[in-house]
Amino acid sequence: MRETGTPATLRAEKVSVVIGGRALVQDVTFQVGPGEVVALVGPNGAGKSTLLRTLYRALRPTSGRVLLDGEDVWRMPGRRLARRLAAVLQETPGEFDLTVYDVTAMGRTPYKRAFQGDDADDRRIIMDALESLDVADLAEAPFDRLSGGEKQRVLIARALAQGTGTMVLDEPTNHLDMRHQLDALQQVRRLGVTAIVALHDLNLAAAFGDRICVLNAGRVVATGPPAAVLTPALLEEVYRVTADVHSDPRTGIPQISVMPYGRSASPGADGRPPK
Amino acid sequence: MTGTTTGVRPAPVPAVARRGRLPYVPVLVLLGILVVAAATAGIAFGSVPLPPGQVWGILLHRLVPSLVDPAWPPVRETIVMDVRLPRVVLGGVVGAGLSVCGMALQAVVRNPLADPMLLGVSSGATVGAVLVLVVNVSLLGAFSLPVAAFAGALVALLLVYFLARTGGRMTTVRLVLSGVATGEVLSAVAGYLIVSSGDPRKTESALRWMLGGLAGITWDLVWIPAAAVLLGTGALLGVSRPLNLLLAGEEAAASLGLNVHRFRAALFVLVALLVGAIVAVSGSIGFVGLMMPHVVRLLVGADHRRALPAVALLGAAFMIAADLAARTLTAPEEIPIGILTALTGGPFFLWLMRRKAAR
């Protein structure tokens, strides 16, 4: 199997982010244990991406600390953190004609000194990562020309190539079709790394998260196993939707069906929604 | 679910086919041959044409006197060694320097349309040069012009740096806007100084300087930009991996361990100093720093570890050839080289773009 680092404990301690007088993240505390997968969910603007940015050192929290195995990530050199924690982001390389291989090879940067080339190990790690995301045959293709889903998979492959024990993933299933959504998350699970994954799809979050952490207006409003957290009451409060939660008979995983606005739980006598 | 793929070893990837582009080493060798050919032509052609064999005879004789018997009039040796060689070397240095600067700058501002002349630094150099040429500020004899131009470049560098950097952050948008705004203001200053001089000869010399040229270079001066470009290119090669990360985007680069704002600021200073040192001796020669990186990316890809050495060679060959054309096409008159680089560069660039789009 692929070389990943030792899964670490990732902990946010009273993290707040204030930008332009607005508190985007307020007093957030949570912990992801070694090898645990936590799904971070919440409505648009809840502060999911902002919170994640403080974890991979793109945004310094206004107050509070981010700890990786007890060590403040904002006090360690960037390269050292990058060997232990990788991020899968929405941001993609622009119009520079990088190949898929080039983009994935960036994952090896934290291990390299100036003037040090890629050796056979690096090349194998890069190709393995591409292989496991099902994009190895695109290695020579220009990254720009890929479909949204293929790009997303290459960016996950780059995080794999980084060989870290911890991963932060911001909407890694965006643009992916159903099969590749499952594949991508399955891949992360199979690695056994510590992971925090921001997800929009609550059913995916329930299926893949050991625990779910719900963020609303910058605050953590619930944390716990999917079945305990994803209740109609919470969905009503956080998303302002009426939802039905039932347990999948085969897996026991909570399944959520959302009632469209203006429809009651039972349709009118003519089978059409009431006006 | 396709969980099976992870258990399968990927087929070994043949070294040659690893990248979809042209094989790297042969391309680099070809570019090297191109530089040597351009340099040979650059030395051989001129008001007194020399056979290429004699050019190499003279050069080899200088290096190892016992190797070649001097069967040429001594004046030819003077032409080669003191007139044409320093100019060819300067052409190579300027071309290589502008090209690597362009490539690095395009990564720094993450925009493939950036040109080193965009930094505002060249306009600062122009003000310095115009002060010497038009207002007759002259303190250092023959060195006045390049020194004043470099000083002007430094002033522009500081201006842009402090305008672009706020609270330890230097964003690409602020960098570009500061550079363009500073450049416009300084160009206006230079323009006013030229127009208000009232002396057509001074105006012409200032205009010629602004359009770029390598004439009148001597060994006394050529080593300074040469050393700067050599050191600068070496430094850029040392940070070629972080340069790649910049292409990935600010956040991704941060997550891969790069202190983006500090790195960007340091690179800006390095590139601006290099451009200043180049412009001080050659005037502002546009298009090279924009065009060469594109051509090289088409040839060997965007990975800076491969692209930087290639772009230095291609830029050197291009500039030597352009300078040869500048001084021979309308001899004994010389065409400002900046005009030639734009005239030949523009259409070539458009052709490449169309060809790429059709592929």
The pLDDT confidence band at residue A194, using thresholds 50, 70 and 90, is: very high
Question: Are A91 and B251 within 8 A, CB to CB?
Answer: yes
Nearest C-alpha neighbor of B109 from the set B271, B236, B316: B271
pLDDT in tens, B281-291: 999 898 899 88
The pLDDT confidence band at residue B183, using thresholds 50, 70 and 90, is: very high
Least confident of A184-188, B4-8, B111-115, B258-262: B4-8
The alpha carbon torsion through A164, A146, A51, A200 (nearest 10 deg) reads -110
Residues of B in contact with A141 (CB under 8 A): 20
Inform me whether the pLDDT recorded for A214 exceeds 70: yes
Q: Let me know: does A139 contact A18? Beta carbons within 8 Å.
A: no
pLDDT in tens, B81-96: 999 999 999 999 999 9
pLDDT of residue B359: 54
Among B20, B250, B256, select the one facing A99 at the smallest CB separation.
Answer: B20
Residues of B in contact with A1 (CB under 8 A): 6
pLDDT of residue B118: 82
* Residues A94-100, mean pLDDT to the nearest whole number: 82
* Residues A68-75, mean pLDDT to the nearest whole number: 94
Among B5, B13, B248, select the one facing A93 at the smallest CB separation.
Answer: B248
Residues of B in contact with A110 (CB under 8 A): 256-257
The pLDDT confidence band at residue A264, using thresholds 50, 70 and 90, is: low
Inform me whether the pLDDT recorded for B9 exceeds 90: no
CATH 3.40.50.300 fits A10-258, yes or no: yes
Quick one: what percent of chain A has pLDDT higher than 90?
64
**Phi/psi at A30 (5° precision):** -155, 165
* Residues A28-48, mean pLDDT to the nearest whole number: 95
Residues of A in contact with B241 (CB under 8 A): 106, 109, 112, 114
Task: Find the residue in B nearest to A130 (Cα).
Answer: B10
Neighbours of B346 (CB within 10 A): 14
pLDDT in tens, A157-190: 999 999 999 999 999 988 888 888 988 898 888 8
Residues of B in contact with A190 (CB under 8 A): 3, 6
The pLDDT confidence band at residue A123, using thresholds 50, 70 and 90, is: very high
Least confident of A161-175, A257-271, B55-69, B294-308: A257-271
pLDDT of residue B355: 67
* Residues B198-205, mean pLDDT to the nearest whole number: 87
Task: Find the residue in B nearest to A56 (Cα).
Answer: B255
Inform me whether the pLDDT recorded for B137 exceeds 90: no
Q: Let me know: does B233 contact A85? Beta carbons within 8 Å.
A: no
Inform me whether the pLDDT recorded for B336 exceeds 70: yes
The pLDDT confidence band at residue B14, using thresholds 50, 70 and 90, is: very low
pLDDT of residue B7: 41
Residues of B in contact with A96 (CB under 8 A): 106-107, 112, 247, 297, 302
Structure tokens at A98: 């990088």
* Residues A122-131, mean pLDDT to the nearest whole number: 94
pLDDT of residue B199: 86
**How close, in Å, is residue A154 to chain B by CA atoms?**
12
pLDDT of residue B233: 96
Among B245, B250, B259, select the one facing A109 at the smallest CB separation.
Answer: B245
pLDDT of residue B160: 92
Question: Are A91 and B6 within 8 A, CB to CB?
Answer: no
Chain B touched by A255 (CB under 8 Å): no
| Residue scoring higher pLDDT (A257 or B38) | B38
**In chain A, domain spans:** 10-258
Structure tokens at A180: 């590749």
Q: Let me know: does B290 contact B102? Beta carbons within 8 Å.
A: yes
pLDDT in tens, B203-237: 888 888 888 889 888 898 899 999 999 999 999 99
Least confident of A9-13, A225-229, B9-13: B9-13
pLDDT in tens, A99-109: 999 999 999 99
pLDDT of residue A49: 93
Domains of chain B with CATH codes:
75-358 (1.10.3470.10)
The pLDDT confidence band at residue B357, using thresholds 50, 70 and 90, is: low
* Residues B292-320, mean pLDDT to the nearest whole number: 94
Q: Which of residues 119-138 of A touch B (CB under 8 A)?
A: 123, 127-128, 130-132, 134, 136
pLDDT of residue A145: 87
Inform me whether the pLDDT recorded for B358 exceeds 90: no
Question: Are A98 and B256 within 8 A, CB to CB?
Answer: no
Among A99, A109, A134, select the one facing B301 at the smallest CB separation.
Answer: A99
Q: Which of residues 58-97 of A touch B (CB under 8 A)?
A: 58, 77-83, 85-87, 89, 91-97
Average model confidence (pLDDT) for chain B? 87
Residues of B in contact with A187 (CB under 8 A): 6
Chain B touched by A57 (CB under 8 Å): yes
Phi and psi based region of residue B137 (left: phi greater than 0; alpha: psi -120 to 50; beta: remaining): beta
Q: Let me know: does A115 contact B234? Beta carbons within 8 Å.
A: no
Where do we find the tokens 């340091």? B266
The pLDDT confidence band at residue B318, using thresholds 50, 70 and 90, is: very high
Among B8, B10, B247, select the one facing A93 at the smallest CB separation.
Answer: B247
Q: Let me know: does B297 contact A97? Beta carbons within 8 Å.
A: yes
Residues of B in contact with A81 (CB under 8 A): 257
Quick one: what percent of chain B has pLDDT higher than 90?
53
**How close, in Å, is residue A262 to chain B by CA atoms?**
37
What's the CA gap between B270 and B266, in Å, rounded? 6
DSSP A51-77: HHHHHTTSS--SEEEEEETTEEGGGS-
pLDDT of residue B10: 45
Among A80, A102, A107, select the one facing B302 at the smallest CB separation.
Answer: A102
Q: Let me know: does A173 contact A185? Beta carbons within 8 Å.
A: yes
Least confident of A67-81, A92-106, A132-146, B303-317: A92-106
Inform me whether the pLDDT recorded for A91 exceeds 80: no
* Residues B141-163, mean pLDDT to the nearest whole number: 89
The pLDDT confidence band at residue A271, using thresholds 50, 70 and 90, is: very low
Residues contacting A126, CB < 8 A, separation 6+: A101, A104, A105, A107, A108, A118, A161
Where do we find the tokens 């964003």? B171
Average model confidence (pLDDT) for chain A? 89
Task: Find the residue in B nearest to A101 (Cα).
Answer: B19
Inform me whether the pLDDT recorded for B4 exceeds 50: no
Residues of B in contact with A107 (CB under 8 A): 256
